[in-house]
Each structure stands twice: as structure tokens, then as C-alpha cells.
Amino acid sequence: MKTFAAVALAALIGLCWNAGAGADAASNGERLFIQKGCIGCHGTSGRGGAGPDLAGTALGVEDFLKQLRTPRAQMPPFPASAVSESEAREIHTFLKTIPAPPPRVSAAPPQGPQGPASCVECHRKHNPTLVAQYESSAMFRPGRQNPRIPVTTPEANSCAVCHGLDHTEITHVRGRVSEKVCAACHAQIYQEAVLDAGHSYGPGPAGIGTNWDRNIKVPHYPQMPRKVMEMGCDPCHAQAGATDAPFWDEQKKQYVDLSSLPYRNGCIACHTRHRFDPAEARRAEACMTCHMGPDHPNWEAYSTSKHGAIYLTDGANWDWKKPMTEVRYNAPTCAYCHMVYVDKDGRRTSSHNMTRKIIWGMGVQPALGELTDITRSPENQAKRAEMVKVCLACHSEVKASEYLKAADAHKLMGDALVIQARDILHDLYRDKLLEPSRRSLSAGLLPGDRYVATETPGGTFWPAGLYYDVSAVEREYFDMFFFANLKSYKGAFHMSPDYAWWYGYAETLGHLTKVRDEAGRLREERRTADRTSFMLLTGPLMVLVVIGAVWGARSFLRRRRAGA
């Protein structure tokens, strides 16, 4: 009996020990799941995102390891140097222990084909604001509301016109509406905004294309956690061209690019669903969501300019229902400057190609080593002329032209400071005071290239990626060219004195000071290290020389005394 009790007690202790060890492995596995970047694609608790749902995975640990090392589809490989076998096993233990997700808070959506009339009535019960927005829109009202739409176009006064009737598919694609669906009625706008890259600065460097390509195909994108990009870069960059091939697979009914962003449609970025109201898009606040922040503070600069002050104090009295070609605002808005065109007879037209007057684009020319007045080219002179024509509604041509020329000069003076800092970094790379091969990987980021400010061995030239896993002086340079100098540039062209000066040019000067100081510190460290190495190498030799001299002198004196 005592033997049986002892065996039972030992078994119980073993079970408790194993349970405790399993709990520890699961707890540490969750930490590793987050730190190693798994959460970026597979979501919180592994319940899916850009990657599949791994909660309670049916994969055995060996199959899990195989997928980790030699993955299928778009998943990057995780070698043992990134995730060791023991770490992978702990992650696998965590995934196996994840409980079932909580129940839905609302009724499950219907399945299969639905009648067109059922959409509004069902959604009126479950999403009343959505229905109210749609019923207030021009699309819902009978008849042709927009003169730019061909008279032969069928009316879009049913949810099914855009979403279809198969609710199983609607649920699967999360209500996706392709921009080509919008193009069926708004062909000219689709041509201008999407096909002509009217909401993009055009092809990017390194063979990157336009629109959505400029987001997901930049070199640093694959290293970023997908869920972080979904919250940050993706929503604003999905302004045009992100809803269709090659990013969408019609057979699989899913997006097949690197992004985990499920809701895309450039049209609703400005004309919020389900009102799709042109009056909303004409207001400057419609642009604010994306065109703000340290790298492109268009809203901050505009709203603190005299134009912005007039708009904010007087804009509530303006008629936003009228097309911009028919109104006379007391100050320009974003849409008015970038979308209205004036011919030689003063007749106004509008276009959804918003890049036809922009010369400097994003403004990162100095980071590419460029320091030249690009406004001299015939193409850019034509763009400038179109912008000046819009200014003539309130200003003389001389005033408008001279101001824009002064803003060009302001931009180039800031660029000259960036070039100076860029040259300093070039010399640090050349003298091997900055070595791209030396790096550490931040938690949650995936392995990839190490970026540098100029062409240099051991790194990939991509200055826009210098905000992570780089040295302090490189990050200082990034903040200088990508934040401070762009605030300076945007402040000048949006007529905000403080953004042009204190938030912009003065900050750029401050960053240059820090770049110089940090470069000086690195060089002094190198000199100190060289002196120390010299002393470590020559010190023992000098001691031997002194000892030899003393010994020689002593021997000489002894011989002399002996001879005497």
C-alpha cells in the first residue's frame, strides 16, 4: 500500500511538473511569437492576418519547423540564426494552447444569393447609419445626378449594383468593391486617378512602379510587421490601383500581395462610403488623414497659412455643393489648387489627376544626391504655368510667380544642407567608421537588407529605410532629410512661415549640427583607438628597449671596472 501511494505521489508530481513546464513554454512561446515578428503576419494570438490562422494549429512540431525553414507562398524563411529550434518549439507550444476565439457580438451574416430589396432592410436593422448615409447619396436618388456620367449608364440605386447578390462571397471578400466597379460609371475619373497615376508621384526609384507599388515594393516593406503596415502606411497608400490584378486573385477571391490590408478603394479615401459626397472631398479636411505628419505636413502647413486661416474662419459659409469650376472661394483649398485648370479664356475645368502641377514631388531629391533647379525643364515650366493660372483668381501673375520662385530657392537651400550631411556620411562609409555589416535586429522586424545613405559596400542604397536598425548618425540624417527638410519645403509652398522656418529649415540646421558632431565623435573614437593600439603594440617593445639599454649599460660598467 505504501509503495502504491509513493508511486501515485511521484506520478502526480510528474504531471504537475510537466504541466508547469508546458505553461512556461507556452508563456515564453507567446513572447517569442511577438518578438520574432510572427504576430506581424499571423495576428494577435495567431488568429490570422496576411498569414493563415495558426491558433490551435494541427501541424506537428516537425512540420511546423519545416514550414518555418522552407516556407510556401510569400512567407519569408526563418533560419536558425533568426529563430532557433528550441524557440520554434516554444512558439509551437504556445500556438497549440490558444483557446477558441470569443463568440460574435452580432448575428452571423446570411449565406448565398439574396434579393436586391433585402439589402437595405437587413442593414437598416444592423447598420442603420450605413443605410442612412447611402440613402442620402446621389447614387441612391433616382435619375442621373452627375452630368459627367453617360446617360446610358444604369442607375446605381441598389447595394447589389456594387456588391453583387451572393452574400457568401460578399462576406468572404469583406464587402470588397473594386475600383473598376466605380469605373463603370466614372470612367474618366478612373482614367485620371488610377491609370494615369493621378494620385501618385509617378514611378519610384529602383524600378518601383506607381500608386500601390510605391508602398508594397519599396525595399524595406518586406521587413516590416504586416499589421503595423496595415495600421500605418497601407491605408493611405491604397489610394489608387490596389484593388485589382496583379494584387487581387479573382479565382481565389483574395489579395495576394504582401499587405494584410483587407479594405481598399481609392475612391472612398476622399468620398467616404456610403455617402460618396463630392462636397466632402472638396473640403481641405478630406485630405488631412493622409497628407499630414512629419514627412508631408501639408495639412499642418496649409491650416497655419493665411489661406488656411481664411478657410477655417470663413469656409463654413461657402457653397460646397457646387462644382469647383463654378465657385469662387475666398481662399484656395487642396482640391482647388491641385484639381482646377484654367484655359486662356478663363474657362475652368477639373481633373482627378492631382500631379499635373506638382514639380518637386515628395521632395527627397537631395537624398538621391541631386542639387539642381528642376523647374527649368519645359515640362516643369508648363506645370508651373498651370498653377499660376489658378493663383490669378486672387493675385497678379508677378506676385504668384515670384512667390513660387522664392519657394523653389528655399527648397534648394534646405537641400544644400542635406547634401552637406550626405557627404559627411559618404566619408564615414569610405573610412569604415560606419560599417553596414554591423547591425542588430529590432524585435518584431524580419531579416533583410541593411540600408545606407550612399552607395557603399555591405549595404543597400535606400535612404528612406534609414529609420531602423542603423547607427545614431544615420538616423539623425534620416530625420534631417525625411522630416525636417520636407517640413521646410512643404511649409514654403503652403505659405506657412513657421513650418518653412522653425519647424523646417531651422530644424534641418540643427540636425546638420548633430550629424557633424556625431561624425567628429566617431573620428575621435577612431583616433583614440588607433593611439591605444599603437601603445599596446609598441609599449612592450619600448619596455624591452629600455631593459636592454639598462642591461647594456650595466654590462659596460662592469667590464670597465674589471679592466681597471
Write down the mean pLDDT value for the chain: 91
pTM: 0.89
C-alpha neighbours within 13 Å on the C-beta side of residue 486: 23
Query: Is the pLDDT at 165 greater than 80, yes or no?
Result: yes
Res 558: pLDDT: 82
Q: For the segment 63-101, what is each residue's pLDDT rounded down to a tens digit? A: 999 999 999 888 889 999 899 999 999 999 999 999 988
Q: Which of 130-134, 151-155, 496-500 has the lowest mean pLDDT?
A: 151-155
Kindly indicate the confidence band of residue 17, based on its pLDDT and cuts at 50, 70 and 90. Answer: very low
pLDDT number for residue 424: 98
Buried b / exposed e across 108-121, counting CB within 10 Å, b at 16+?
eeeeeebeeeebbe
Amino acid at 363: G
pLDDT tens sequence across 43-73: 999 998 888 999 999 999 999 999 999 998 8
Q: Is the peptide bond before 222 cis (omega within 30 degrees of 0)?
A: no
Which residues on adjacent β-strands are paired with residue 559?
A: none
For residues 371, 376, 379, 380, the Cα torsion angle rounded to the nearest 10 degrees is 70
pLDDT above 70: residue 172: yes
pLDDT level of residue 393 (50, 70, 90 thresholds): very high
| Cα distance between residue 72 and residue 39, in whole Å | 18
pLDDT at 561 over 90: no
Terminal CA-CA length for the chain: 104
Give 533's pLDDT tier (boundaries 50, 70, 90).
Answer: confident
Q: In the prediction, which pLDDT does 4 show?
A: 56
Q: What residues have CB less than 8 Å from 394, skipping those under 6 apart?
A: 331
Domains and CATH numbers, the chain: 19-96 (1.10.760), 113-276 (no CATH), 406-533 (1.20.850.10)
The yes-or-no verdict on residue 128 having pLDDT over 90 is yes
Distance CA 345, CA 505 (A): 40
Report the chain's C-alpha Rg in angstroms: 32
Nearest to 241 by CA among 218, 264, 263: 264
At a CB cut-off of 8 Å and minimum separation 6, what does 337 contact? 357, 387, 390
C-alpha angle 363-369-371 in degrees, rounded to nearest 5: 65
